[in-house]
Structure 1
């Protein structure tokens, strides 16, 4: 597989080089024996990683880039374009415009303003910056399960930030939100379609109803979950939230998560193209070769890797964003894998599960025990034991109210601040569905081993 990748890349590189063959020859630094030795050291150092690309890595949001994205990125790096201005990346800037338009079309936004960014954090920064400009003196509100970047960015921008409690399914509590909106202090509500902890989807369709009454902006943080708008196997309420995206004011999505791209590749989209007026600035040295729009004129970020745009564009050509297509089927496979794992966990005597199945492809659970503290200890032990058997999961500290009150004998039911350490799995690789039996066998064996050891060490 790797040999074929490099062979294809080598052929494309020769084709690219032929386009500049008319220029006088110039010396290019060669990689000598010393460089080869260093690269061997690099390879050795890089082995000190979890096997992120393997299906048995089922922990954090780490999805390997598609081979065509790797190849296109490497090919573009021989030019090393900078998509801040057309002077630094003419072809890659055009490809970025097309790639961003494909993302906007996926969300039914024929009119839009947007660009790629180094990731979701900077993309969200631009969205909240624009929100502050359009709703001066008003606060930003987001769920307590929203990404921490929103409170951090609000602080950086000097904007007030308000946390909205979540319900027992990890979604924004609408009653609490409406109480906040009644104060007229909220200018923008961040709606998360796929929280990074548990993959919960805020009810955007219902929040839009509140918008008509209270007049606030809606920013959708779909950095993780945005691509699931293409999935055909979502629950009715989850589907309703995604179908409401065309009515939001701004949106962030990360192609370097489910979009099969290398880090970092995020995207900010505004539904109203006139938002571009907020970016107005002068540059005496970068915008001189063309009167066409430079991406740097609609971005707070300056230098940006044009190679990211090239890689995304190439991937979109191979795997277009169509309902029922190969790309959408990969998302559906991840969701099915999550649902199937959830059912196995529900039937197991070793684990406690939340009362509702996963909305996207993230599953979380905690070991059965008398108290949340004991469950937390077992979670760490099972995490370690699974890793010994090459199954790599993740840990998350989550509210106990995500679980039914009857799960623990000793628990303050009304203690909303109580937390428990959970095991967590992001089944975002299409291959995870085929590997689910292997994953479950290792997880079940780890639970049995930890339970056996714990029982044998208890005092008589």
Structure 2
């Protein structure tokens, strides 16, 4: 946190302290006291242990989907946590509950939903998708749920939790769904992922929507990773076809703790038709008394939820609008630029080759001087491990079925069941100016 951010936080906490003291003086019970030496020893050890993390904050880290929250975001989170509101019922946190409703409404409008919708924050994208698939099951209790072979594993796992059959849809070389491979009469909901967590692929919503409408099938969009890229839907930086159709989906999930600059955990689920609230209907003998207004716990599978997450998201959206030229747009342009930069560098490299052109800010690539798929896997793992060992870069690995890899790169002899390649997630805007240096470091270990 820079000096100005620290100054704002200190001032705001002081203002909050005045409010806390306005209810009368009181003293913390002595049973909560901890000796200073114990505190000092514990926090010194804590600082040492936390230094064993990978450098998620630095542009040398281009591994998993870990994006540092904005300093002012976690300042807002820290402020709220000094009160520790619970957004289950309004009496657990009236202001933070209202902030959640406002932030969720802003997300709903951003994705094209009107003023009538149902939605709330969740602890994660996994829980958000669970709720969306639960509504899918309740809406069509005798139908299956379909999702592509590239979708996040959470869909298959949550189908198991919900005891509903999940169907994997094959993806063709063109990136379209092989809809002929499934029986539409058996499907109640189909999941379309806008930004897969593997390689950031944007699935063909424009292909699936008319097919789904023809057969009376619901559409759920998993935009947990890619959702915020909708800010760029009208630019030449991305293909806006699918992004411009999002409002036609029955439900949408997005993860603000990915590209939304939020701390973990902050997911969000949205339903276009508020009538699905009937499936949440329940009662509680000791909550929901302070207001006749809707309590968030009445439309959520979760009970207690951190009000601080809502406060942080609300504050972030006030400071960084969901627009192309101000706020989130310029940040995401830099992330796309970083992936594009590395993709172009592979064009002239004698050592590294891109697996495919990236849709968003995730790029797969591999050492190109090998002759067989097993050699590519072995060398990729060596490059991955060497960077962490000398602390020069941090990447991730991605395993691809041999049939899929060979369709794109038939020049390599297939002598393994799958291929492990390198994968980079360029989530930080700082990556845009660091990609050439990062690429050179990786090449040196090829």
Task: Please tell me whether the aligned partners of residues 338 and 432 of structure 2 are also in contact (alpha carbons under 8 angstroms).
Answer: yes
Which of the numbers 34, 45, 53 marks the counterpart of 1:49?
53
Identify if the C-alpha distance between structure 1 residues 307 and 162 changes in structure 2 by more than 3 Å, giving closer, same or farther.
same
Q: Gapped runs of 5+ residues in structure 2?
A: none
Which of the numbers 62, 81, 84 marks the counterpart of 1:80?
84
Q: Distance in 2 between matches of 1:406 and 1:221?
A: 29
Identify if the C-alpha distance between structure 1 residues 98 and 342 changes in structure 2 by more than 3 Å, giving closer, same or farther.
same
SS of 1:433's equivalent? Answer: helix
CA shift, 1:141, in A, is 0.7
My pick for the range that moved more, 228-237 or 367-376, is 228-237
Whether 1:13 aligns to 2:13 is yes
- Alignment correspondent of 1:25: 25
- Alignment correspondent of 1:394: 396
Identify if the C-alpha distance between structure 1 residues 4 and 398 changes in structure 2 by more than 3 Å, giving closer, same or farther.
same
My pick for the range that moved more, 435-444 or 84-93, is 435-444
- Alignment correspondent of 1:437: 436
Whether 1:300 aligns to 2:301 is yes
Q: Distance in 1 between matches of 2:245 and 2:183?
A: 20
Per-residue deviation, residues 42-101 of structure 1 (Å, max 9, x unmatched): 111000110001111011000000011110100001110000001101000000000101
- Alignment correspondent of 2:105: 101
Q: Distance in 1 between matches of 2:45 and 2:92?
A: 33
SS of 1:430's equivalent? Answer: coil
Task: Please tell me whether the aligned partners of residues 353 and 403 of structure 1 are also in contact (alpha carbons under 8 angstroms).
Answer: no
Q: Distance in 2 between matches of 1:68 and 1:311?
A: 8
SS of 2:264's equivalent? Answer: coil
Which of the numbers 126, 129, 146 marks the counterpart of 1:124?
129
CA shift, 1:234, in A, is 6.1
CA shift, 1:404, in A, is 4.7
CA shift, 1:190, in A, is 0.6
Identify if the C-alpha distance between structure 1 residues 221 and 405 changes in structure 2 by more than 3 Å, giving closer, same or farther.
closer
* Alignment: residue pair count: 438
CA shift, 1:22, in A, is 2.3
- Alignment correspondent of 2:172: 167
What's the RMSD between the two structures over aligned residues? 1.8
Identify if the C-alpha distance between structure 1 residues 98 and 20 changes in structure 2 by more than 3 Å, giving closer, same or farther.
same
CA shift, 1:382, in A, is 0.7
Q: Gapped runs of 5+ residues in structure 1?
A: 448-460
CA shift, 1:212, in A, is 2.3
Task: Please tell me whether the aligned partners of residues 139 and 187 of structure 1 are also in contact (alpha carbons under 8 angstroms).
Answer: yes
Task: Please tell me whether the aligned partners of residues 147 and 169 of structure 2 are also in contact (alpha carbons under 8 angstroms).
Answer: yes
Per-residue deviation, residues 149-192 of structure 1 (Å, max 9, x unmatched): 001100010100111112336x4x42x2243144x111110100
Task: Please tell me whether the aligned partners of residues 345 and 352 of structure 1 are also in contact (alpha carbons under 8 angstroms).
Answer: yes
Whether 1:157 aligns to 2:162 is yes
- TM-score (ref. length: structure 1): 0.91
Whether 1:427 aligns to 2:426 is yes
- Alignment correspondent of 1:362: 362
Task: Please tell me whether the aligned partners of residues 389 and 442 of structure 1 are also in contact (alpha carbons under 8 angstroms).
Answer: no
